[in-house]
Amino acid sequence: MAFSITTPIYYVNSDPHLGHAYTTVAADVLARHRRRCGEEVFFLTGTDEHGGNVARAAEAAGMPPKEFCDMVSARFRALASAMESSHDFFIRTTDPEHERRVQDFVQLLKDKGELYEGTYGGLYCSSCEVFYDESELIQPGNYCRLHPNRQAEWVEERNWFFPLKTWAPKLLELYDANPEFVRPRARYNEARSLIAGGLEDVSFSRATVTWGVPLPWEPEQTIYVWVDALLNYRTALEYGLGRDVTATFWPTSLHVMAKDILRLHGIVWPAMLMAAGYDPPQGLYVHGYFTSGGQKMSKTLGNVIDPFEVIDLLGADALRFYLLREVQWGQDGDVTWEGLHRRYEGELANDLGNLVSRTTAMIGRYRDGVVPEGTNQLEPVHEQVADRLAAVDLTGALEEIWTLVRAANRFVEERQPWALAKSDDPAAAGQLDETLYTLADTVRVLGVLLHPYIPQAAATILESVGDPGAVSWDRAAHGGLAAGTATTQPAPIFPRVATDG
Ligand code: MSP
């Protein structure tokens, strides 16, 4: 089985923030899960570097656009690696291998008669790089919904157009044949009703934007930045690994993104592909938007959470865990430093960290650090976790895992191993063995289950119960820990930190 998954490629006109981290972590969890199930995975992320916005940002920074892109793209790449993202390729739309293929693609559409020349007049938000209908803007004044300080401006130019309208019947067929084409369901309905409500053709070139890929047959025009950007999902497979892996990984299994770019991914992208004769993606998952303290994160409000700062203070695992635990997957949610510290202390340090350290400490103290004979007494959750992950329910899967963490902690309190160790009752030694086996095996299972979410801690956990590297899914069932395995007590996995943040 092969599984290909993508994040949006992020604009380099500003620094990476927590919202970008969110999508990357989510896609990474799914990529890691599929790999541990033995599937062949291609996980793609990267940066979107052309267009007027980026050119303006470069100008404001007093830098040539490419140099500016190199700088900001490197920050996104640094964030991905600081977050322990396991992407297979980090694409940049300024890669010459990408640019060349974008040109080939639009040439192919033109040769197939899928592009026509026309004049376009419309209200254009230069921050979104998107033309809007009046009804989509805030009135009076044509203010952009996504950039409320910016008025969309009337722009008229001669462009090359893609006849999106004519693809509506095929798009509806695609949606009707696959009710899970877009998840969650509300987003599917949203996209489908946009199609059913009537589509406008899309201008595929820009006469006014110079920072972009030139149209092959009319190099004074550049290819619309969204066409260039969407094509990354295809071109990356052709050159990213140094060989063409489209035969294995096309069509893309899952595109993950936030709701702001659903129309482009759910409508324009599949239509473009069908027009070129390529298979459309298998599915999209659309997650929600973050706010902080109930308000949109913004520099002026001072509520921006810098993902690098979180990682420096609490580690990548804490960031990953928090994002997928705090915000109900698929919905909007609020993220704050207080919330982050609360989850870190309460769930990572206390619930999980203490469970691991007291389990290994007790085995050290009562059984010389060797796992005794026994059977795991707790209810397994791995099947529920697998179901949730198959349904792309990332918060749900984590909650299932946490029921096991909590059950294990309750089990310690109920069994009171320290009392069993002191007891003169002849049955106590056997009960203590059973208790310690259950805890050690559960800690091991948690290491396996948590691997996609908190890979560093999971590795430490597995090592502490003598099962290092054993993250594959066939190790997720209870009872896999062999009696006689040597355990060690790790240094605190989630050490206390000063909370003045
Ligand atoms: N460059 C385009 C995407 C092209 S994909 C072919 C773009 N870039 S972006 O930098 O604006 O990134 C948008 C994506 O970043 C969102 O779809 C989402 O995945 C993520 N997020 C950015 N801000 C976010 C929040 N505040 N909350 C959640 N996710 C956010 O659009």
Closest C-alpha to ligand 1, atom 6: 230
Query: Is residue 268 scored above 80 in pLDDT?
Result: yes
pLDDT of residue 305: 87
Average model confidence (pLDDT) across the chain: 95
> What is the three-class DSSP state of 487?
coil
Q: Are 106 and 115 in contact (CB under 8 A)?
A: yes
How much is the average pLDDT of 376-385? 98
Q: Work out which ligand 1 atom sits closest to the CA atom of 265.
A: 6
Q: Work out which ligand 1 atom sits closest to the CA atom of 296.
A: 26
How much is the average pLDDT of 53-77? 96
Quote the radius of gyration of the chain (alpha carbons, Å): 26
Q: Are 94 and 104 in contact (CB under 8 A)?
A: no
How much is the average pLDDT of 407-430? 97
- CB-based burial, 304-329: b 16+ in 10 Å, e otherwise: bbebbebbebbbbbbbbbbbbbbbeb
Over residues 299-341, the pLDDT tens digits come to 677 778 899 999 999 999 999 999 999 999 999 999 999 999 9
Tell me the CA–centroid distance for residue 410 and ligand 1, in Å: 41
Tell me the CA–centroid distance for residue 10 and ligand 1, in Å: 6
Q: Are 6 and 41 in contact (CB under 8 A)?
A: no
pLDDT of residue 500: 54
Mutate to test the pocket of ligand 1, among 5, 7, 22, 331 (most ligand atoms within 8 A of CB): 22
Cα 292 from Cα 313, distance rounded (Å): 19
How much is the average pLDDT of 478-487? 97
- Nearest partner of 290 among 319, 255, 253, judged by Cα: 319
pLDDT of residue 290: 87
Query: Is residue 423 scored above 50 in pLDDT?
Result: yes
Tell me the CA–centroid distance for residue 258 and ligand 1, in Å: 6
**Residues classed as catalytic:** 17, 20, 125, 128, 144, 147, 296, 299
Triad 391, 394, 400: Cα angle to 5° = 95
Over residues 189-238, the pLDDT tens digits come to 999 999 999 999 999 999 989 999 999 999 999 999 999 999 999 999 99
Cα 37 from Cα 254, distance rounded (Å): 17
Q: 499: pLDDT confidence band, cut at 50, 70 and 90?
A: low
130-132 sheet: strands from edge to edge: 130-132, 116-125, 153-162, 202-203
Q: Are 98 and 232 in contact (CB under 8 A)?
A: yes
Tell me the CA–centroid distance for residue 425 and ligand 1, in Å: 62
Closest C-alpha to ligand 1, atom 30: 19
Residue 331: other Cβ atoms inside 10 A: 12
Cα 256 from Cα 286, distance rounded (Å): 6
For residue 280, whether the previous peptide bond is cis, meaning omega lies within 30 degrees of 0, is no
Tell me the CA–centroid distance for residue 11 and ligand 1, in Å: 8
pLDDT of residue 501: 44
Query: Is residue 243 scored above 80 in pLDDT?
Result: yes
Q: Work out which ligand 1 atom sits closest to the CA atom of 291.
A: 26
Cα 235 from Cα 228, distance rounded (Å): 10
Mutate to test the pocket of ligand 1, among 5, 20, 284 (most ligand atoms within 8 A of CB): 20
Tell me the CA–centroid distance for residue 414 and ligand 1, in Å: 47
Give the residues surrounding ligand 1 with Cβ less than 6 Å away. 8-11, 19-20, 22-23, 48, 229-230, 232, 257-258, 260-261, 289-290, 297
How much is the average pLDDT of 464-487? 95
